[in-house]
Chain A
Amino acid sequence: MSSSPTGISIHQSDRALKRLKVRKAKEARFRMCGIGAVVAAVTMLGWLLVSIVGTGYTAFYQHYLTIDVELTESVIDPTGARDPDELRKANFRKIIQEAIYDRFPTVTERREKSELFKIVSASGATNQARQMVYNDPTLVGKTLTITVPTSDDVDQLLKGYIDRDAPENRRKISNKQIVWVDALTETGEIKSKFNTTFFTATDSRDPELAGIAGAVVGSLMALFVAFAVSVPVGVGAAVYLEEFAPQNRFTDFVEININNLAAVPSIVFGLLGLAVFLNFFGMPRSAPLVGGLVLALMTLPTIIIATRSALRAVSPSIVDGALSLGASHTQAVFHHKVPLAAPGILTGSIIGIAQALGETAPLLMIGMVAFVTEIPSGLTEPASALPVQIFLWSDSAERAWAERTSAAIIVLLSVLICMNALAIFLRSRLERRW
């Protein structure tokens, strides 16, 4: 098939040009497919982010009512003893009620009064007043200006989530309440402020008082335990398996099982934790310690696989160089191979741990799904975790929970992005050495 004597090579004929055209069309189609896939992926991701941020960002501010409260002595301290423990038990609900009724003196009917009181967060306001008096009993008898959260329904109305034009019986807030709220908003008594409660409070039955602090602390504690357990164990196991273990049926069996473990549904690890840590070892239920151990088990295969592939990626010529100088195998591994694999090991570990941060299922099994209203102070205290908190809130009926669910998801995603950014930063930092 050499070129003809006339000088036209087979690569210049019409058929050759046609073949070239077909080839180029094929390549163009493939590029289009690639671009299409990227666009589809980016669109879906963007959609996810927009919908979450769109519903969630309103949870970061909240409406508060500023009101004068008269701390009537006859109501909260009829004996006049000023005993803080007695003061604590006093009827602050009545105090708040009186304050609001005083603000709208024209409201006299029982039912209307009840509706009026529903403007503020009942437990939020009473607890705040109670705490202030408990801290400073001399306040009794004085008039105090306090800023309390409005009820979640009022908050949702002002955020525009409740349709004012809907028939009265189809919305959670009555016509009269709308009139009162509008009047208070006009005078500036109801104002929107940054929702610090969301970041400082724990879970609550009332959306306007609920926060993620407890869940975040629980998650951090569990992650700390998971990291402290899974990284040394995982890296150690990987180095041993990759470098020192004899090649035999048993190690093959171990390797297959580690790879399979990486694909085991996380809820199974939860069941394992329930059976082993809770039932066998008798560790406390709902504790971050147990949650962390379960997450560590779940992360182990990821770390082992990442570490082994990082070790395998180290150039054998470096190891040969060390061995040829008379370094022992162990020295070659720990002086050269492991340090060179460190960026890969670190990235794998952080990604594994980030994955663990987002896990809900295994934590449900060991009771970290409990309604916890205190920030855990130790590894064995009952705690919740951020993803579990999201799961709990997403199940609640009120409109106000929806935005808080999304807001908690935003926080979770931010933490994940920060962890992944840290992984990338550390990797580039360690690799830049040479």
Chain B
Amino acid sequence: MEANAIQDSGLFRPVTPGGEVIKMSEKRAHALAVEPKFKCRDVRVFYGATEALHGIDMDIENTGVTALIGPSGCGKSTFLRVFNRMNDTIPNARVTGDILMDGENIYDKKIDPVLLRARVGMVFQKPNPFPKSIYDNVAYGPRIHGLATKKNDLNEIVETSLQKAGLWNEVKDRLKDPGTSLSGGQQQRLVIARAIAVSPEVILMDEPASALDPIATAKLEELIDELKEKFCIVIVTHSMAQAARVSQKTAFFHLGDLVEYDDTEVIFKNPKDQRTQDYITGRTG
């Protein structure tokens, strides 16, 4: 309740999955709310000798949904994977430049990518639930991070996470069933619940609806709309309609460059760059 009140007042505050407000000074909370979540300066990503991103400068807002759009191979997914250092897992991939999260360089040597990924969750293009039960899927993250010491705490995290992902009512009677037995849309929401369960600050989504039918997509977009109240969301999408529907900020990428970045309304109604104009009207890409 209190959390909602603060959000209504326009001030963002990090909240645990249980709805508990994380305690911090008003000043810091305010700073976090108005400061960008990520500040990127001259970010370049190399795969071997190939440069996939040519120096991106971009700030990601602390609240709301930021959409990354662009034709295939433009580097938007590569850029998304910069934020949780998933590019580290690709052999030969190299990232240069500064990426500051809450003012801290996440590529600094003293930053452990394992902890970073607990703060920055990710949802992939293809739903990838673990071949375990629905319960174990959601409980996996809290277990490895030791977030719940008692069985009841864990049950609660699982329940609230599934509720937030809008899946609880559909699966509450079959938590022991394998996660892979769900439909595509349910699996994707299960994966979101799994990400929420570790209380991240940011959720990255890499074309989360591209494998879903229109109804499941609509549900997912509704969910994103709810989640943006509590999480900073960055979404890569192929569908411009989706970007227009769910995001507040949109960035257009082309051939490894950030061409245009503005409020979603501006991008879609009044783009400044010809390439953006061509792409959103369907002339390229």
Chain A residues within CB distance 8 Å of chain B: 247, 315, 317-318, 320-329, 331, 335-336, 340, 433-434
Contacts and interface: CB of A to CB of B under 8 A. Distances in A.
A326 B84 CA distance: 9
A246 to B, nearest CB: 10
5 contacts: A317-B128, A320-B86, A320-B128, A323-B117, A326-B117
Query: 7 shortest A-B CB distances, which residue pairs?
Result: A326-B118, A324-B122, A317-B128, A434-B131, A325-B141, A326-B117, A321-B128
Nearest to A433: B131
A323 B145 CA distance: 12
Given A324-B86, A325-B121, 12 more contacts: A317-B126, A320-B122, A320-B128, A321-B130, A323-B89, A324-B122, A325-B118, A325-B140, A326-B115, A434-B131, A434-B178, A434-B180
A314 to B, nearest CB: 10
A169 B118 CA distance: 91
Interface in B217-273: none
B111 interface: no
A329 B112 CA distance: 12
A278 B126 CA distance: 56
A364 to B, nearest CB: 46
Describe A's contact surface by its main secondary structure.
Answer: helix
Nearest to B131: A434
A224 B280 CA distance: 67
B69 interface: no
A325 B198 contact: yes
A326 B198 contact: yes
A325 B124 contact: no
A428 to B, nearest CB: 15
Interface string B163-200: 00000000000000010100000000001001100100
Contacts of A336: 130
A321 B131 CA distance: 11
Contacts of B84: 324
Nearest to A329: B89
B124 to A, nearest CB: 6
B144 interface: yes
A336 B124 CA distance: 17
B91 interface: yes
Nearest to B194: A325
B86 A325 contact: no
Given A434-B178, A434-B180, A323 B86 contact: yes
A325 B89 contact: no
Contacts of A326: 114-118, 141, 144-145, 198
Nearest to A434: B131
Contacts, number: 64
Nearest to B119: A326
B89 A317 contact: no
A255 to B, nearest CB: 15
Contacts of A324: 84, 86, 117, 121-122, 124, 195
B195 A325 contact: yes
Given A325-B141, A325-B144, A325-B195, A317 B117 contact: no
Nearest to B91: A247
A364 B122 CA distance: 58
Contacts of B114: 326-328
Contacts of A322: 130, 140
Contacts of B118: 325-326
Interface in B118-138: 118, 121-122, 124, 126, 128-131
A434 B178 CA distance: 7
A146 to B, nearest CB: 64
Nearest to B116: A326
B120 to A, nearest CB: 8
Contacts of A335: 140, 144
A131 to B, nearest CB: 60
Contacts of B126: 317
Interface string B82-96: 001010010100000
A340 B131 contact: yes
A48 B258 CA distance: 70
Nearest to B88: A323
Contacts of B144: 325-327, 331, 335
A325 B194 CA distance: 8
A343 to B, nearest CB: 12
Contacts of B195: 324-325
A327 B118 CA distance: 8
Most A CB contacts (10 A, CB to CB) among B84, B89, B191 go to B89
Interface in B46-66: none
B86 A321 contact: no
A325 B130 CA distance: 12
A318 B86 contact: no
A350 B86 CA distance: 37
A92 B94 CA distance: 88
Nearest to B197: A325
Contacts of B194: 321, 325
A366 B68 CA distance: 68
A247 B90 CA distance: 13
Most B CB contacts (10 A, CB to CB) among A321, A328, A331, A434 go to A321
